[in-house]
């Protein structure tokens, strides 16, 4: 089962070339290694063959050299002049005469010709009789060798040994019997012992190397007990002839291996502890072994150089490859990132398009898209539902066809031009469906650009429902006002009774004064004026009621609220005096406010009257009116009293209709006040004073909106 996500797989596949490169590099390295191993083996085999040939050659040369000496020695055994002379001299009793000198000359003559160090003659008993050497005696071993030669009637070689006790010089001896040729029994008359200097021929022969080499050498070795003895001088260690001894058990020592019967080794370790390749041979008729060896380093030097080159090349290629792949991978990663970003962006675009298509298709509004000529290129579901045309029919129409269905075609054709010019346009219009139904619409059109082509996107809202709702609300409001007016009628009776009673009282006073014989014309006029003011006030209240019932609002004009506050207060002058209320008016300069004078008067009068009534049964009677301009630029009027105050439980119902605590109250005054203030775009609220009394505040905007 594939448990990796596709994206993970995609990321991993990017690494396949890298993996291939690593595998390829490993394969090359392995092949190179194997190749080098093979070449090394070939070189080793070749070298061993050379070494073997050299060892064979040297062995042969030693054998030849020995044989030559042996043959030469044989000449002394087969009736030589020397043997005859020596026999005579011995028979004469070994006198120190001319004959002895002759024999000595013969011996001395032999030395330079054959390279003998000394030549000595021994009698049949092994006694030294004549010698070219400095000593009057011979080594025991040499005497023994001479006796052996005489007994065996054959020339015999000694081994190479130190030349005498304490001597560092090596030598070997050749002993040959001296046979009297004239004797019919071939009698042995004595022996000749010839000391051979190995430094003269043998060692140079061993040490010479055919060809150029800085490490190759041939060695002559023999076994002595548990040790290997190096017979000749070594190339890499001086003064070693017959001195250097190494245990036979030393592992990988070619000399020890030779004694054990081996003929070659590729992994020998020589007397210096250096790895060597060696060929070993036994020298026939002797205890000697010839070893030809060369350092492994030397034979592999050319290939080592090649190896270093190959390794450097390999490392350089790996580094270059690594760098290349690093750069390549970075590229791949950047490409992947870009692709992912593109993919994500495409997905998001796709999602947005789908989302937009969905919104457009199922939007609550009609959405039409047209080209610059007004031809419809797209229409949503709502358009089809509202106009009653099929989508295909709509796509064959132009925007003016739909709009002009209900009006002037030319005018609507001009609208397309207008939209194109002004980019965005909003207006209300009447459209008509396929069935002839006309309906009000709000059109919002704007120019959009897609790939440098301009389109007109038209969003059309069917206002039929909204208009119906508005009409219904207006009707309900009208009905509500009628209702309130009805409710208010009884309240108005109460409101009107006061100015009418006052008016009636003033008129009665006038009538009474006119019945008097003399009446003051001026007093009568002022009383009548008072009656007129009260009548006018009553008229205003009635007019206002009429306005409330009519749904239109009062005419608005710029009014001075401070002046109005004072005027309304003057209407209540009598009552204020009667109840002994102190009035404090703190009015700040205010800008004129666009408002309905009668309505604001009504608000003020209501607030003043409530305040006065709240103080009826209260000993301290203070009515304060203040005005100010708020920071937000509204006019603020505050009416506060020192009356009974408002209970917290009352607070929330205060502005609800019919909430009253008065015996004859209607509970409509504050409702009307709020309606008026809010209708002017202001607010009204109450704050209960901490100790006693209440404070009613309302604001009016200077720039009044017409709600
Ligand atoms: P009404 O005056 O007919 O009762 P309002 O709507 O004008 O109707 O007032 C409603 C109630 O609010 C009053 O009955 C009264 O209890 C309370 N009220 C109004 N103004 C004050 C005030 N200044 N102090 C205390 N109570 C008040």
If asked whether residues 667 and 525 sit together in one domain, one would say no
On whether residue 228 sits in a domain, the answer given is: no
Note whether 508 and 612 are same-domain residues: no
453 with 468, same domain: the answer is no
pLDDT at 480: 52
CATH number for the domain that contains residue 576: 3.30.565.10
Q: What is the DSSP letter of 230?
A: E
Helix (H) or strand (E) holding 628: strand 622-629
* Ligand 1 center–CA 498 separation, angstroms: 18
Q: What is the predicted pLDDT for the residue at 250?
A: 92
How far apart, in whole angstroms, are the C-alpha atoms of residue 514 and residue 517?
8
Alpha-carbon separation of residue 597 from 415, 492, 633 (angstroms)? 43, 19, 20
Nearest protein Cα to ligand 1, atom 21: 610
Domain annotation covers residue 468: yes
Domain presence at residue 63: no
| pLDDT at position 149 | 92
CA of 187 to the centre of ligand 1 (A): 180
The alpha carbon of 658 and the centre of ligand 1 are apart by a number of angstroms equal to 10
For residue 604, report the distance from its CA to the centre of ligand 1, in Å.
13
Edge-first strand order for the sheet with 634-641 is 582-587, 622-629, 634-641, 694-701, 684-688
DSSP 389: -
Atom of ligand 1 nearest to the CA of 643: 24
Indicate if 594 and 469 belong to the same structural domain.
no
Pair 477, 542 in one domain: yes
Distance CA(707)–CA(596), nearest Å, equals 13
Q: Could you tell me the distance, in angstroms and rounded to a whole number, from the CA of residue 555 to the centre of ligand 1?
A: 28
Of the residues 196, 226, 248, which one is the last residue of a structural domain? 196
Contact in structure between 371 and 455 (CB atoms under 8 Å): yes
* Domain-located, residue 226: no
Within a domain: 303? no
**Domain end: 151, 181, 196, which one?**
196
Q: How far apart are CA 30 and CA 35, in angstroms?
A: 8
Number of structural domains in the chain = 4
Q: Which of 611, 654, 668 is the pocket-test mutation for ligand 1 (most atoms within 8 Å of CB)?
A: 654
Write the CATH number for 370: 3.30.450.20
Ligand 1 midpoint to CA 661 (Å): 7
| Residue 635 and residue 533 share a domain | no
* 581 and 680 both lie in a single domain: yes
Q: Nearest residue CA, atom 18 of ligand 1?
A: 610
Same domain flag for 575 and 684:
yes
CA-CA distance, 54 to 281, in Å (whole number)? 10
Atom index in ligand 1 nearest the CA of residue 671 equals: 6
Tell me, in angstroms, the distance from the centre of ligand 1 to residue 463's CA: 43
CA distance 121 to 107: 9
Residue nearest to atom 7 of ligand 1 (CA): 669
Name residues of the chain where pLDDT drops below 50. 1-3, 165-166, 406, 551, 704-707
- The residue whose CA has the least distance to atom 25 of ligand 1 is 645
Q: Which residue has the tokens 């505040």?
A: 697
- Mutate which of 651, 661, 698 for ligand 1 pocket (most atoms within 8 A of beta carbon): 661
- Give the range of the structural domain holding residue 425, as residue numbers without chain letter: 363-462
| Cα 504 from Cα 510, distance rounded (Å) | 10
């001195």: which residue's tokens?
Answer: 243
* Residue ranges of E strands in 13-100: none
Take atom 14 of ligand 1 and give the residue whose Cα is closest: 660
H or E, element range at 439: strand 438-450
Rounded Cα distance, 77 and 149, in Å: 10
Residues 671 and 698 in one domain: yes
Does residue 618 share a domain with residue 485? no
Q: Ligand 1 centre from 615 Cα, in Å?
A: 12
Other beta carbons within 10 angstroms of residue 360's beta carbon come to 19
668 CA → ligand 1 middle, Å: 9
Q: Is 135 exposed, middle or buried (0-12, 13-18, 19+ CB in 10 A)?
A: exposed
Q: Ligand 1 center to residue 82 CA distance, Å? A: 177
Q: Which atom of ligand 1 is nearest to the CA of 655?
A: 6
Which of the listed residues 643, 665, 684, 689 should we mutate to test ligand 1's pocket, taking the one with most ligand atoms within 8 A of CB? Answer: 665
Check whether residue 626 and residue 678 sit in a common domain. Answer: yes
pLDDT digits (tens, 9 = 90+) for 258-276: 999 999 998 899 999 999 9
What Å distances lie between residue 409 and 42, 140, 341, CA to CA? 106, 154, 50
339 belongs to a structural domain = no
Structure tokens, 268: 């020998």
Q: Ligand 1 center to residue 672 CA distance, Å?
A: 12
Q: How far apart are the first and last CA of the chain?
A: 71
Q: In the prediction, which pLDDT does 615 show?
A: 92
The last residue of one of the domains, among 552, 572, 606, is 552
pLDDT of residue 26: 87
Mark whether 692 and 576 lie in a shared domain. yes
28 Cβ neighbours under 8 A, 6+ residues apart: 314
Q: Which atom of ligand 1 is nearest to the CA of 693?
A: 24
DSSP string for 645-690: ---HHHHTTTTSTT---SSS--S-HHHHHHHHHHHTT--EEEEE-S
Q: Closest residue (by CA) to atom 11 of ligand 1?
A: 660
Look at residue 10 and tell me if it is in a domain. Answer: no
Residue 351 lies in a domain: no
Please write down the HEC assignment for all residues of 356-385.
HHHHHHHCCCEEEEECCCCEEEEECHHHHH
Pocket of ligand 1 (CB under 6 A): 606, 610-611, 614, 641, 643-644, 646, 654, 659-662, 665-670, 694
Please tell me the distance between residue 239's alpha carbon and the centre of ligand 1 in angstroms. Answer: 141
Residues 6 or more apart whose CB falls under 8 angstroms from that of 283 comprise 59, 62, 63, 220, 289, 290
Candidate from 670, 672, 688, 695 with most ligand 1 atoms within 8 A of CB, to mutate: 670
* Cα–Cα distance measured from residue 669 to residue 660, given in angstroms and rounded to the nearest whole number: 9
Tell me which long-range contacts 317-325 makes (C-beta under 8 A, separation of at least 24). 317/25, 318/25, 321/21, 321/25, 325/17, 325/18, 325/21
């Amino acid at each position: 089962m594939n448990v990796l996500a596709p994206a993970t797989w995609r990321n991993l596949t990017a690494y396949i070339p890298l993996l291939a490169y690593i595998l390829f590099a490993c394969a090359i390295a392995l092949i190179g290694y194997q190749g080098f191993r093979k070449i090394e083996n070939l070189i080793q085999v070749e070298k061993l063959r050379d070494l073997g040939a050299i060892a064979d050659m040297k062995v042969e040369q030693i054998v030849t050299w020995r044989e030559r000496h042996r043959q030469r020695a044989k000449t002394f055994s087969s009736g030589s002049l020397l043997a005859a002379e020596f026999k005579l001299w011995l028979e004469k009793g070994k006198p120190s005469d001319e004959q002895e000198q002759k024999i000595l000359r013969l011996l001395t003559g032999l030395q330079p010709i054959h390279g003998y160090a000394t030549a000595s003659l021994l009698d049949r008993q092994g006694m030294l009789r004549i010698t070219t050497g400095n000593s009057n005696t011979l080594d025991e071993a040499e005497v023994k060798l001479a006796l052996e030669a005489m007994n065996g009637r054959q020339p015999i070689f000694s081994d190479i040994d130190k030349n005498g006790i304490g001597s560092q010089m090596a030598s070997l001896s050749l002993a040959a019997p001296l046979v009297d040729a004239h004797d019919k029994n071939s009698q042995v008359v004595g022996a000749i012992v010839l000391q051979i200097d190995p430094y003269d021929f043998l060692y140079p022969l061993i040490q010479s190397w055919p060809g150029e080499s800085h490490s190759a050498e041939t060695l002559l070795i023999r076994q002595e007990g548990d040790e290997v003895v190096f017979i000749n001088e070594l190339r890499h260690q001086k003064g070693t002839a017959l001195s250097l001894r190494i245990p036979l058990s030393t592992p990988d020592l070619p000399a020890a291996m030779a004694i054990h019967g081996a003929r070659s080794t590729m992994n020998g370790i020589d007397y210096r502890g250096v790895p060597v390749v060696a060929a070993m041979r036994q020298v026939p008729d002797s205890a000697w072994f010839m070893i030809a060896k060369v350092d492994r380093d030397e034979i592999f030097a050319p290939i080592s150089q090649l190896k270093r080159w190959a390794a450097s090349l390999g490392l350089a290629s790996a580094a270059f490859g690594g760098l290349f792949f690093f750069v390549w991978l970075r590229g791949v990663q950047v490409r992947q990132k870009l692709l992912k970003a593109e993919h994500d962006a495409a997905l998001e675009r796709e999602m947005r398009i789908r989302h937009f298509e969905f919104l457009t298709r199922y939007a609550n509004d009609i959405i039409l898209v047209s080209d610059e000529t007004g031809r419809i290129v797209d229409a949503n579901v709502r358009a089809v539902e509202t106009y009653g045309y099929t989508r295909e029919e709509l796509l064959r129409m132009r925007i003016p066809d739909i709009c002009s269905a209900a009006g002037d075609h030319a005018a609507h054709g001009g609208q397309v031009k207008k939209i194109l010019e002004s980019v965005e346009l909003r207006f209300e219009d009447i459209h008509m469906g396929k069935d002839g139904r006309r309906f009000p619409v709000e059109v919002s059109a704007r120019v959009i650009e897609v790939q440098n082509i301009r389109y007109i996107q038209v969003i059309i809202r069917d206002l039929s429902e909204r208009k119906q709702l508005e009409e219904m609300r207006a009707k309900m409001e009208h009905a509500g006002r009628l209702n309130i007016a009805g409710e208010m009628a009884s309240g108005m009776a109460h409101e009107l009774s006061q100015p009418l009673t006052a008016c009636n009282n003033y008129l009665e006073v006038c009538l009474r004064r006119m019945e008097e014989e003399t009446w003051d014309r001026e007093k009568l006029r002022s009383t009548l004026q008072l009656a007129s003011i009260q009548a006018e006030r009553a008229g205003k209240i009635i007019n206002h009621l009429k306005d409330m019932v009519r749904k239109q609002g009062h005419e608005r004009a710029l009014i001075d609220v401070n002046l109005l506050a004072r005027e309304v207060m003057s209407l209540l002058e009598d009552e204020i005096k009667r109840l002994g209320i102190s009035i404090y008016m703190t009015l700040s300069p205010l800008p004129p406010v666009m408002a309905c004078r009668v309505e604001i008067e009504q608000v003020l009068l209501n607030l003043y009257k409530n305040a006065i009534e709240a103080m009826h049964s209260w000993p301290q009677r203070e009515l304060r009116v203040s005005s100010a301009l708020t920071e937000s630029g509204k006019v603020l009027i505050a009416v506060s009293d020192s009356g009974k105050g408002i209970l917290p439980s009352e607070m929330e119902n205060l502005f609800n209709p019919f909430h009253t605590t008065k015996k004859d109250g209607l509970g409509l005054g504050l409702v009307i006040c709020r309606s008026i203030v809010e209708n002017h775009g202001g607010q009204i609220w109450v704050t209960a004073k901490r100790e006693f009394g209440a404070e009613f505040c309302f604001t009016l905007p200077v720039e009044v909106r017409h709600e």
